[in-house]
Amino acid sequence: MFKSALNLEFGKVTILNNILIAELNEGILLDISHNRELLKIGRETFNNEAYGYISNRTNSYSVNPMIHLESANVENLAAIAVVSTNTIVKQNTIIEKQFFRHSRSFEVFETLEEAIHWMENQLKLVK
């Protein structure tokens, strides 16, 4: 198992095998520029290998759903998972999900462990 961590201005990113896990700071707006930085980390870390993105929403912050249009164009970004127990966050992800290319590749979970397990299975499907 490969694991590393990066501290960013707007949060922390952990790489676990072929999964990029982001825990972003309280109160930020996850916008296009932040998303581009996350996509750059994915591109540089995984090259052309399939990878998954997990948004571990332990903090409260806003998401511009338009980021998923750009993310949908990243060929090797296989799936996105959101982790939250917050009802409002879960409802908002319904909107976010509509912007990603395959709604079946975008899911919401209550625990990070569930999200990692699902993501590992998604990555097996693309290999």
* CATH at residue 104: 3.30.750.24
The two structure tokens encoding residue 39 = 């996509």
Q: Tell me: the pLDDT tens digits for 73-87?
A: 898 999 999 999 999
Q: Provide the residue type at 96 as one letter.
A: E
Q: Provide the residue type at 89 as one letter.
A: V
Task: Identify the band that residue 17 occupies on the pLDDT scale cut at 50, 70 and 90.
Answer: very high
Phi, psi angles (nearest 5°) of residue 126: -100, -5
Output the CA torsion 8→11→125→91 (10° steps): -150
C-alpha distances in Å from residue 96, one per residue of 16, 71, 124 = 24, 11, 24
Question: In total, how many domains does the chain have?
Answer: 1
Residue 111 domain boundaries: 3-126
The two structure tokens encoding residue 97 = 């999900």
